[in-house]
Amino acid sequence: MFKLNRYMIPISIILASFILGGFYYISEARKEKHAAEQQQQKTDKAAFLLSNCTGLAKEAHTEQWHDACTALGLLSGECRVIKDMTLEEYARANNLNPNDFETPAKWGEYSVEVLAKKEKCACRLPSAIADKLNKAAKDRKDECYKKYPQE
C-alpha cells in the first residue's frame, strides 16, 4: 500500500469543491438565463397584446368617425368607397400583385396604407358628436392599458 502524502487529502477536497462549485455555478447560470428569457417573452407578449388592442381601438374610432361622417353626408364619394373596402378589394382596385399577399409583411404594408387613406377621409364633425367619439376612443384605449399593463 502506498503512503498518502499529507497534502493529498486537502488538495483532493479543494479540487472536488472547485469541481462541484463549478457545476453548481453553471446550473444556476442556466436557470437565471432561462428565467430572463421567460421574462423577456412575457414582456414581448404583453407589448404585442397592448399594441394590438390599441390598434383595434384606433380602427374602431376611425370606423365610428367615418360612420358619423357618412350619416351626416360629409364624406366624398371616394372616401365612402375606401371606407367599405377590404384589403383584398383595395389590392384589386389599385392593381396590386396578389402574390404579395403571401407574406405577412406585405399584408402589414397594405393594411397601413389602407388605414392611412381611411384616416385622411375624416370630416369635421359637430363638437358634441366628436367629443362623444373621442371619449369612447380614450375609454377603449385606457381599457387596453388596464387589460395589458406594461412593466
The rounded distance, in Å, linking the Cα atoms of 133 and 131 is: 6
What would the pLDDT profile of 49-78 be if each residue is shown by its tens digit?
888 888 889 889 988 988 898 888 887 777
Predicted confidence band of residue 3 (pLDDT cuts 50, 70, 90)? low
The rounded percent of the chain whose pLDDT value lies above 90 is: 15
pTM beyond 0.85: the answer is: no
Q: How far apart are CA 149 and CA 43, in angstroms?
A: 10
pLDDT, residue 57, reads 92
User: Which cell is 29 given?
Assistant: 447560470
